[in-house]
Structure 1
Amino acid sequence: MAAQTKETYEQTLRWLESSPSLDELCERFPSDWNVVADKLDAVKGKGTQGLHEVIGQYSTPARQSRDRQLPQAARMSQLVQRRMVLISLRSVSDRRESGVQEGAIRFGLIYGFLLQRTLFKKDLERKPVHLGRFGLVWRLSKQRNRLMPLVRPQGIYCFYSRTLIKNIVRIIDGRDAVEIAAGDGTLTGFLNEEGASVIATDDFSWSGSVSYPESVQKFDARAALQKLAPRVAICSWPPAGNPFEKSVFVAPSVETYIVITSTDEREASNWATYREQTDFELDDSTALDTLVFPPGRNRVLVFRRRGANS
């Protein structure tokens, strides 16, 4: 089973935050993988539905669990096993999405070149996307379904058009803004290039897959909102069921919260928090949805505090 001493428990939590691969998890926790493998065998043939059934057998991650009576070793095993199932689910989903059932998921030379020139400055450094150019390349690319399975492991969940950036800058309207869970700070960089004043913040918990530049300040969401007191908060693809978005709706300085998220509520955001909060009105603007790529996968939500001049 997973680690039993408090020191190892905390060390393992930090290690899990670096997003280890399934192979690394299995090597470090073989007995936990044996438990997971048995559960996966029991739902074999059900595909992603079966994996969701297995995930449902676990409570929320150990740090968020309300059942503090469980021994640390049991909570640790629960967290490790849940992570193993989530990675397995992502692998199955990526295969289904990409259409590549065997071997490595990759682009052909021509399509890879076209998408690289359209979406990136160099390597995996994103650039604001030209709407017309992207539309043409996307229609021509027969391998477009491979894009997100290839870039998601690097912390990339969507691409921003130039038009989207300009629209968000207009919503910010010169106010102080903070991006929480900003990852490598790409969105903040684009907004600031268009004249906004945004500070990128992140707790650096994805250091295993995301390279954090000096421009991203190390704050968790709650600390960032308390210390920087922005009038506008921004988040792009917050993790599904995350605990930190609750901090946005109780932060007294925040007048507007802009969220770029998934059309599938299971993939991103804390939708329970969105529905429970009562101080903000939601503008679910489909006009902005179409300005995030790939098309049909993203939603842009703008929460405005009732009574605020925002």
Structure 2
Amino acid sequence: MSDFTSLSQSALFNSMQFFIIVFSELVLLFILISMLVSWLQLKIPKARVQALLSGKSGYMLAAGLGAITPFCSCSTLPMMVGLLRAKAAFGPVMTFLFTSPLLNPFLIAMLWVIFGLKLLLIYSLSVLGVAILSGMLLQVFQFQRFITLPQASTCCGSNNAMLTLHPEKTWSLKGLLQQAIKETRSFLPHITLGVAVGAVIHGYVPSSLLAGLSNSNPWWLIPAAALSGIMLYVRASTMLPLAATLVAKGVSLGTVMALTIGGAGASLPEMIILKRIFQWPLMIAFVLVVLGTAIMTGFSVQLLLSTGAGV
């Protein structure tokens, strides 16, 4: 009984610690990123943003922007909202949303060091290919009609109208901060719920959940791992050190990559926050794209690399 009580207290402590740290981090990131995006909107004309993130070159630029921004899936959202407000093309913005949590300099370095160059290339090409193609298809089928932007910072009929219309007269750090806080407030209930779900999972779901299947590695394990990742709140940079341990226990590289992409690309907390912006058709399409990326990458790694490669 004492062991059970000790484990329960440890799980509760881990959950509370996770909630406090991640909630504080996300709120701070939302405010800072919203301020940065608002400042960029004042400095860069909307026509310039539209020109940069449009056409075929816009997808490559969006993918590149995603690859150099070290955001997790949740903290990518205010940047996405800012790009949409600046009238950037919808398809490239979605490419940015898919790419940002899955490719960044830190992640690339960790993949190279832990698993080697070959796996890094397979991973990067899979993520970039699916992100760009998915962004194009979502724009072709006009999924932008399923976007609902928050009302807190609209530039028409709000207190911030003059900030957008006359930036040279009204720009100030205080004004940017006030606008960012309003933006963040509209997401706060979703952030709280999302992080709470992630905290419970973090504290009470054992990291060795998939290790029990390590001996058989059935074909359905990769899709199951991708789906399991979505139910967790796992950053890719956090998952990769654990991934080396799972591989050492016998879990296949493909399974570990599927779990990593599922958790980093579309975690349950992120989807709760994202529901503030996406209507159900776009939300379903988003989840399917991340699942497809995770499963395709997992099977590609499984076929092209042996279980122990690079470890």
Give me the TM-score of the superposition, normalised by structure 1.
0.28
Q: Normalized per residue, which structure has more strand? A: 1
Q: Normalized per residue, which structure has more helix? A: 2
Structure with more contact order per residue of length (Cα contacts < 8 Å, sep ≥ 6):
2
Give me the TM-score of the superposition, normalised by structure 2.
0.28
